Amino acid sequence: MSVLEFEEKTVEDAIALACQEFKLPREKLEIEIVSKGSSGIFGIVGAKKAKIRVAPKELSLDGLAERGKEILTEILRHVDLPTVIESELKEDQVCLNIISNGTGLLIGKRGKTLGALQHLVAKILHREVGENVSVIVDTENYRSKRETSLTELAQQLSEKVKKSHRSLTTGPMNAQDRRIIHLALKEDLEVRTKSKGEGNLRRVVIYPIRRGKKPQPVAALEE
Amino acid sequence: MKEMVEYLVKSLADHPDQVALAEHETDDSILLELKISPDDIGKIIGKNGNTINAIRTVLQAAASSQRKRVKLEVVS
């Protein structure tokens, strides 16, 4: 990212200005002091301005994980729960695991709270580094449990579709859940999957494939 | 409760200095009224209200841990 120069009466003022300009806290800036500046004699004669050169610090992936952990800790500080957060990097994804007392309060209905925390951490991180960071927030293995049950659901639905030769639709799901369904049935050659609908109401439709015949017209059935 | 929203909104806003949050408390519920710079309103609400709803969801979780109800409104 860009390097900018700032001139102010004192180094402190210049740094403050730089923070404002980059909209970043001081720790996130690489600051090089070009000249310290002096107030001159009686602050009139020979006054020199302080000059600094500033660039935003590039965050490494490890740094991102660490920062994600800090953000999440800050958010959860205000929730009346004992929480410890572990951060980990998995294939360029920042994984944050919340260890708590297991009340499910942080999961919410169908993972709503967990999803909200994830959205907010990702958004704040994105704002700070200027690029999209994929963040996963998990607690009590909720995500992996959900993956298992969704994969099971996908398998059951696909069996039904194969028997009845009619397409079936899942309930509304978020992108993460839909992805699990698509992946679960990717290898299955007798059905194909497609997402349908808009926004929060997107669902996965599972169609039968019959050899030598065109797929039947879609009759979207409620799950 | 209020600090949490303040932290979240300030981390997301372009003008954190223009974030003002008023708290009205009744017996068992709290109403938070958020005022922000017009430039930031869209950002805080997010696409389809995703961001403001995420803030509300997290806020409700925090509130229920203290057995309270809380509402968050963006006012302009």
| Candidate from B58, B62, B65 with C-beta closest to A120 | B58
The label of the residue with tokens 């994105």 reads: A126
* Euclidean distance between the first and the last CA atom of chain B, given in angstroms as a whole number: 21
Decide: helix, strand or coil at residue A97. Answer: strand
CB contact, 8 Å: B23 with chain A?
no
d(CA B46, CA B2): 20
Q: Please report, for chain A, the start and end positions of each structural domain, with discontinuous segments joined by +.
A: 4-56, 61-140, 144-222
d(CA A38, CA A48): 5
Q: Which of B66, B62, B70, B43 is nearest to B4 (CA)?
A: B62
Amino acid at A43: G
**pLDDT at res. A5:** 85
**pLDDT at res. A52:** 85
The bridge status of strand A50-56 relative to strand A93-99 is unpaired
Give CATH for domain A144-222: 3.30.1370.50
B53, part of any domain: yes
Q: Which of A201, A79, A185 is nearest to A193 (CA)?
A: A185
B46, part of any domain: yes
Q: Is the dihedral of CA B49, B8, B59, A59 positive or negative?
A: positive
Task: Place domain A61-140 in its CATH homologous superfamily.
Answer: K homology (KH) domain (3.30.300.20)
The label of the residue with tokens 């708590």 reads: A100
Taking only residues 67 to 86 of chain A, the set having a beta carbon closer than 8 angstroms to any beta carbon of chain B reads: 71, 74-75, 77-81
Residues of B in contact with A200 (CB under 8 A): 48
Sites in chain A below the pLDDT cut of 70: 1-2, 39-46, 58-59, 211-223
Verify whether the Cβ–Cβ distance A108 to B57 is below 8 Å.
Answer: yes
B19, part of any domain: yes
B74, part of any domain: no
Kindly give, in sequence order, each residue whose CB lies less than 8 Å from that of residue A219, ignoring residues fewer than 6 positions away.
A166, A167
Q: Which of A48, A51, A43 is nearest to A15 (CA)?
A: A51
Domain assignment of residue B60, given as a range: 2-29+40-69
By C-alpha distance, the chain B residue nearest A112 is B57
d(CA A207, CA A161): 7
Residue A57 neighbours by CB distance under 10 Å: 14
Decide: helix, strand or coil at residue A7. Answer: strand
For A175-193, what is each residue's pLDDT tens digit?
889 999 999 999 988 999 9
- The CA radius of gyration of chain B, in Å to the nearest whole number, is 12
Q: Is the dihedral of CA A137, A140, A144, A150 positive or negative?
A: negative
pTM of the model: 0.72
Question: Is the ipTM of this structure higher than 0.85?
Answer: yes
B76, part of any domain: no
Query: What does the pLDDT profile of chain B (76 residues) look like in tens digits?
Result: 888 899 999 989 888 889 999 999 888 888 999 999 998 999 999 888 999 999 999 999 888 888 888 999 998 8
CB contact, 8 Å: B11 with chain A?
yes
B14, part of any domain: yes
Number of folded domains in chain B? Answer: 1
